[in-house]
Structure formats: C-alpha cells, structure tokens
Amino acid sequence: MENLKLKEILLEIKNGNELERERLIRHYKPYILNVVGHICKRHLTWSNDETSIGLIAFNRAINTFEFDKGRTFVNYVYLLIQRDIIDYFRKEKRHLHLVSDNNLFDHDKAELKASLELYQQSTNTSELLEEILELDEKLSKFNISFEQLERHSPKHRKTRIKVMEMAFEFIQHSDLVDELVGKKVFPVSSFTKRTGARPKSIERHRKYLITIIIIQLHPEWRRLSAFVQAGPGSVKI
C-alpha cells in the first residue's frame, strides 16, 4: 500500500469510517499473524490469545500512527504487537509465579534482539512487505495461494524463461489483460491463437503464469518485479 493511499485511509478511519478500518485490518491480517507467530516462536491461529492481542495492538496502531514521526506503519505495528505480547507473557508468568531472574534476563535479551530486528525491518522489508500483501490479496481473487505456486513453478531454467516471456507477451495484449482481470480466468484459447503457445504448457504453469502477469502488471512493485525479469540474470534485492 502506497504511503499516500495509506495516509488517506488512516485519516478516513480516524474520521469514523469503520468500513475502511475493517478493510485495512483484513489487508494486514497475514502480517499480524506472522508477527505474532514470529514473536511467540510458534505457529498460531486466530483462536489463540496471542493473535487476539496482536489484533488489538494493530487496531491501536491504526488509531495512534502518525506519519510525521519518521517510521513506517508496518514497523509501528510490529513494535506495538511486540510490546503487547511481551506484556502479556509477563502478566501470565507473574500470575503463574514462574518469573525468575533468568527469565527476565532472557526477556531483556529478547527485547534487545527484537529492537535490532526492528531496525532491520524498518530499513529493508516494509516496502517489500507491502508489495507481498498486495500481491497476496490480488492472487486470492484468482483462488491462488502462495503455497500452491511451488507445484506450478517451472523446474528448468529454459521453461522458466519461456513462461516469463509468455507473461511478457500476454501483457502486450490489453484485451487479454482486461479479460484476465475482469473475469479472473486466463484466456487460454485466445492467447494460444495469437501467440501459438501450447495450451498444455499454459495449463501446467497456469497459476505461476498468472502470478508473473500480475507482478508484471504492477511495475510500482519494484522489489517483486526484480524477481520476475525475463532471462537468466534475476536481480537480488
């Protein structure tokens, strides 16, 4: 999500647009779950207490985030969730009388480590994270999830280049792109008639091909676009 767009959305939410709040929460849900899991060092679901705490922290981040403080929204969310989760653990341990000096020391160490991570996050990944979240949202409309893509990814370098070229060729035809975006279905027959591509190879890599096309259709996703450059020399971020 672009900064400008996010700023507008946050302003609308602060003015009382609950629908936008709902939409923003839904957009960042995978990130909230990931942050909570990362802090707790285990996979969590929405039925866990920690994820509820994360969700509450995110909601507070929406209310309290200020753009002029010089940090990204994603980093701010991470910071709030981390604080709340650590507080929750402290309360839990106090409640259970299990707090020990060692544990406190561990927590201090963990906080220090988290701060370092936070710094790395702020400098490297916030932009990429925004792109990933947007791509995930777009692909979900095509019933594509990231974990399915391994099976549809071409294994050989030549095939991979071929698929990248097919995606590049596809976006040259605006009517085909409209059909894909509008109907959410890949127009196999129209594409094969125009390009002479084999329907079998399209079907084999269909989900991967759609993903590449979606990324190529969004050149503003600079970091993700670097991964799908046609040719062997892919650029590392």
Partner 1 sequence: MKEYKIEGVVIKVTESEYVLFCDDGTFRNIPLTKDNIPMMGERKTYTASTRNLAFTALSTVAVAILFIAFISYGVFQNHSKTHYIAAIDINPSIEAYLDEDLNVIKLSPLNTDGKQVVDSIDSDGMDFYQVVDLIVSQSILKGYLTTDEKGSIETTLVKVRNDSNLQWEIYLIEVIQTQLQRKSIDADVQVFNETKKFYDQSEGAGVSMNKYRHYQTLRNQGLVQDIEEVKEKSIRELLDMILEGVKRVPVEAEKGKDNSGENVKSNPESRQNQSQSTKGDQSDYKQEPSINKDVELRDTKTRNKSSSSENVTSTNQKSSEAPSNRDESSNDNEANQNAGMVDSQIHSIDNTKQKNETSKESQIPLQ
Chain positions contacting partner 1, by CB under 8 A? 30-31, 34-35, 37-38, 40-43, 117, 121, 124-126, 128-129, 132-133, 135-136, 145-147, 149-150, 153-155, 157, 160, 164, 208, 212, 224, 227-229, 234, 236-237
Q: To the nearest whole angstrom, how small is the minimum distance from the Cβ of residue 168 to partner 1?
A: 12
The token duo for 28 is 């960042």
The nearer residue to partner 1, 19 or 235, going by C-beta atoms, is 235
CA 202 to chain centroid: 26
Q: Are 8 and 14 in contact (CB under 8 A)?
A: no
Taking the C-alpha atoms of residue 35 and residue 54, their distance in angstroms, rounded to an integer, is 8
Q: To the nearest whole angstrom, how small is the minimum distance from the Cβ of residue 182 to partner 1?
A: 26
The nearer residue to partner 1, 30 or 93, going by C-beta atoms, is 30
Structure letter (DSSP) for residue 237:
-
The token duo for 122 is 């702020």
Taking the C-alpha atoms of residue 123 and residue 139, their distance in angstroms, rounded to an integer, is 27
The nearer residue to partner 1, 31 or 191, going by C-beta atoms, is 31
Q: To the nearest whole angstrom, how small is the minimum distance from the Cβ of residue 64 to partner 1?
A: 22
The token duo for 221 is 């996703």
Q: To the nearest whole angstrom, how small is the minimum distance from the Cβ of residue 22 to partner 1?
A: 21
The nearer residue to partner 1, 179 or 226, going by C-beta atoms, is 226
Q: Are 185 and 176 in contact (CB under 8 A)?
A: no
